[in-house]
Amino acid sequence: MDSAIFVRNLTKRFKDKVAVDNVTFQVGYGEFFGFLGPNGAGKTTTIKILCGLMKADSGEAHVAGLNVLDDPLAVKAKIGVLPDVIDTFDRLTGNELAVMSGLLYGLKEDEAARRAGVLFELMDLKREDREKLVIDYSLGMRKKVGLACALIHGPKVLFLDEPFNGIDPVATAAVQRVLQNLVARGVTIFFTSHVLEVVEKLCTRVGIIQNGGLLACGTIAEVAQSAGMAPGSTLSDVFNKIFGAQAGEGRDLDWVAGLPPAIEKETAIPPVAVPRADDGAGAGIAAERPEV
Amino acid sequence: MWTLTRILCRLRWRYMWSTSWKRRIGVIAMFAMSIMFAIWLSILMYFGLRAASPESESALFRRECLVAGAFIIYVGWIYFGSFNDLYDPQKLATYPIPPRRLFTCACASSILGAAPIFIIAMVAGTTAAMEGGIIIKIVRGLFIVALAMHLIMLGRLVRLVFLQILTSRRWREFSGLLGMLMSGVIWVAMASGSRLQSSETSQEIIRWIHGIAADGDLSIWTCWIPATWWAWAFNMEGALAPVGAFLFVLSSILIARAGGWSEEKIAFSEPVFAYAPKKTAPGAPRRRFLRGWPSGFLKFFGGDIAAVVKKEFCVLARDPLVRMRFMSTFFMIIVMGVIPILSPRRSMSAGSFPLGGILVFAQIAFLFNLFGTDGLSIRALFISPMDRGRMLVAKSLAYVFLFIPFNLSVILVIGLFSKRADLAEEMGYHICYFLITLSAGHIFSIYFPTRLVQVGKRVQRDSDVHPIYRALTGIFALLTTGIAAAPVILGRYVVSPFFDTKGEIIIFIISTGYALLLYSVSLKIAGLLLARREDKLLAFFSQNN
């Protein structure tokens, strides 16, 4: 099979609810694939099935040329997973956790420690932070350690569920850098995110899922076209067109008021003068405060 | 296999020892208690086996004694703990580890823990007591090691099954109910113990057991339990020995297989604690808590207090874990209500059985844990600008609404049934005890918070606080509450008898005043403490949930 991920008629039900409904798509090797959809659309369920963490009711799923449904262990050895909620052994330090992951993937301890060090440096995780317990980590640090654990064995396919959820711009940039580096090395990345700007920047192709069914799949231009939008449309526009951003329009929070209604213009807070880097006197106005 | 065992041992050590000093205290206490218990077990096995030696009794009698001993060890080991810390297999689900290997290695990693202490104790006691040459002693020692391994595997299997069950709301409640019933049976049996001792019945029971052992009936009745097969093999006599050995090994293999299957099942399972509202017909009226006069009564205290009380009721009614604890509390009350009836000295039960105090004791888990019942919702509560004292009043009111009417009804019914003379007094003093315990609960909830599992999370045993440390703080809390309640207890049982009814009423009024004073002082102190420790409480519930 030529695809890194091949899915055909995949279906998963939870009692009455169809979480994944007859989904078919494929992702080539070295592709950065974004899997998008509103909350509860079926993204995480699909990822779990593809990672061998959940059994599908019917259909086919192949990852790295192996059948996930028949041999999930073989697939797990070839992939890396960063779950949305990192529920791990949080009484270990970041370094211990990464090394333990390496050992569980069959690496020698020295090699696992070496790789963990490189990964942490790449992800800008300070040396002292590596020796802290994971339970004391911020969300961004947890994501970085989770990513280090997922990458330590050199996976062919990487599954990331909301990797940028709740992390700051600096951590986001560091993680993005690592991911782009991986794609350049031929690793396939399958990820879900609600940060559409990042998806637009990173992904070569996207798939959009709603109520368990795949609505569109292709490049952003192809997806925009299938949604009946102009070729230059942003992913955000496409997303809003498909899912409708008009909810609640015409309603007003009439009880909320930040300022008294009859405030005089002069009493509004004046613009703040911020020194510019290029003039020592601090005479420049960096930003004008909008008038009330 | 070896690498995985090594990793799990390292993990186990890390969790057992290297996390926090609170956990270390618990681990040291657990090991000390394990060693003491193991020595006792060793001595017990030595004397038990010596008593059943062939010089004094028949071979059949000795075999049946072995069957009985194995049965007790088997059931005891499983019921009172498997000596195997359970790591949620879901945490290892992303790694390419075959489930059966994970099960075997997790069991092997139990070598770090209390299990070896018990194995050594049993081997020492048995080999010292049993006759036979050195080879026979070594073989019997190996049999004991095999039994321990079998029990470690079975213990983990039981835990895995429970973990699986506990991720389902319905099964969770059922298992809770089952646990309560078992505890209830033990409780009632203990309550009946004093009756047995005082009668001929105990002698009859001993003669009956002796008869069973002498006739070999125990082997027949328990021939379906692996403990019996093990005892036959261990006895090393007759045709039953190879049959027992074969069946015991077969059952161990089956347990290992089932363990692997359970590891896989649990790794795939989804957390389903989350509250799922019942489906109602469209347009049906919304279910509301505290309708009618309680709602009107609450309005008297203010909207914020009413809101918190209603929130408490919603949590109690909807969170499966809280509901289970709540049910178990009532079950405990009912069981305790039986004691006065079962007690051989009916005059004591009718006159002075401290039912009011015992009822408060049964509910102490709630009263000492004001912020722990609903885990993380404490965050929402602390974000609100509500006065902390009023917040505590609201919590108190919720428990008053919940427990006092029920408790008073229980005292009334049991009091009438046992023709209790001091019924009104008991009911009045119960409210005093309740208030004092609530006062203590304000302080202990802030200093020793305990948590229930947050909705949507799986049960885990990796808390920083060891259960034994928690037990020690619980004992401290109970002792302090007892000291706080001492003036009321002394007033009632020591001073009151010297006075007539009028004097007794005055003492009761003073006691009530003391309880109210204690309550208001504790509110003030708890309000101040909360201002200093709110961040610590939030951190505790965030980390441990």
**CA separation (Å) from A248 to A33, A224, A236, A253, B8?**
32, 25, 19, 11, 52
State yes or no: pLDDT of A169 exceeds 50. yes
Q: B364: pLDDT confidence band, cut at 50, 70 and 90?
A: confident
Most confident of A12-16, B240-244, B308-312: B240-244
Question: pLDDT at residue B55 above 60?
Answer: no
**Residue A243, pLDDT above cutoff 80:** no
Output phi, psi for B485, to 5 deg.
-85, -10
Q: What is the mean pLDDT of residues B378-397?
A: 80
Whether pLDDT at A229 is above 50: yes
In a domain, A288, yes or no: no
Q: Is residue A129 part of a domain?
A: no
What's the distance, CA A287 to chain centroid?
32
How would residue B487 be classed by pLDDT, with cut points 50, 70 and 90? very high
Per-residue pLDDT reduced to its tens digit, B416-438? 877 777 788 888 999 999 999 99
B2 touches chain A (CB under 8 A): no
Other beta carbons within 10 Å of B244 = 24
Residues of B in contact with A83 (CB under 8 A): 94
Distance from CA of A193 to the nearest CA of B (A): 20
Looking at the domain assignment, is residue A274 inside a domain?
no
Of B14, B90, B98, nearest to A87 by CB-CB distance is B90
Q: Assess whether pLDDT exceeds 70 at residue A30.
A: yes
Residues B394-398 have a mean pLDDT of 87
Q: What is the CATH number of the domain that holds A203?
A: 3.40.50.300
Q: Which residues of chain A neighbour B464 with C-beta distances below 8 Å?
A: 91
Considering only CB atoms, which chain B residues are within 8 Å of A76?
94-96
pLDDT at B455 over 70: no
Residues 256-275 of B with CB under 8 A from A: 267-268, 270
The dihedral sign for the CA sequence B386, B390, B392, B396 = negative
Does B266 score more than 60 pLDDT?
yes
For residue B271, pLDDT over 60 is answered with no
d(CA A79, CA A64): 8
Choose among A54, A89, A106: nearest Cβ to B11: A89
Write down the pLDDT at residue B460. Answer: 47
Average pLDDT over residues B536-543: 69
Predicted confidence (pLDDT) at residue B254 exceeds the cutoff of 90: yes
Q: Which of A54, A104, A105 sits opposite B268 (nearest CB)?
A: A54
Q: What pLDDT does A284 receive?
A: 43
* Between B449 and A79, residue with greater pLDDT: A79
Tokens linked to B258: 């089932």
Which of A99-113, B6-20, B180-194 reaches the highest mean pLDDT?
A99-113
Residue B61's pLDDT band (cuts 50, 70, 90)? confident
- How many domains are there within chain A? 1
Mean per-residue pLDDT, B256-278: 68
The percentage of residues in chain B with a pLDDT greater than 70, rounded to a whole number, is 68
* Residue B15 C-alpha, separation from nearest chain A C-alpha, in angstroms: 7
Confidence check: pLDDT of B131 > 60:
yes
Instruction: Tell me the per-residue pLDDT of A120-156, one tens digit each, with 9 for 90 and over.
Output: 988 888 888 888 888 788 888 888 899 899 999 989 9
Q: Where are the domains of chain B?
A: 2-268, 317-544
Closest by Cα among A39, A141, A40, A44 to A83: A44
Q: Which of A277, A276, A278, B543 is nearest to A286 (CA)?
A: A276
Write out the DSSP string of B110-150: GGSSSHHHHHHHHHHHHHHHS-S-HHHHHHHHHHHHHHHHH
Closest residue in A to B102 (Cα–Cα)? A104
pLDDT of A116 strictly over 50:
yes
Q: What pLDDT sits at residue B457?
A: 47
Q: Are A91 and B14 in contact (CB under 8 A)?
A: yes
pLDDT given at position B341: 59
Confidence at residue B170, expressed as pLDDT on a 0 to 100 scale: 58
Q: If interface means Cβ-Cβ distance under 8 Å, which residues of chain A face chain B? A: 51, 53-55, 73-74, 76-77, 81, 83, 87-89, 91-92, 96, 100-101, 103-106, 133, 135, 150
Q: What is the mean pLDDT of chain B?
A: 76
Residue A262 or B145, more confident: B145
Instruction: Evaluate whether residue A207 is within a structural domain.
Output: yes
Range of the domain at A7: 3-84+156-243
| A283 found inside a domain | no
Interchain proximity A104–B4, CB inside 8 Å:
yes
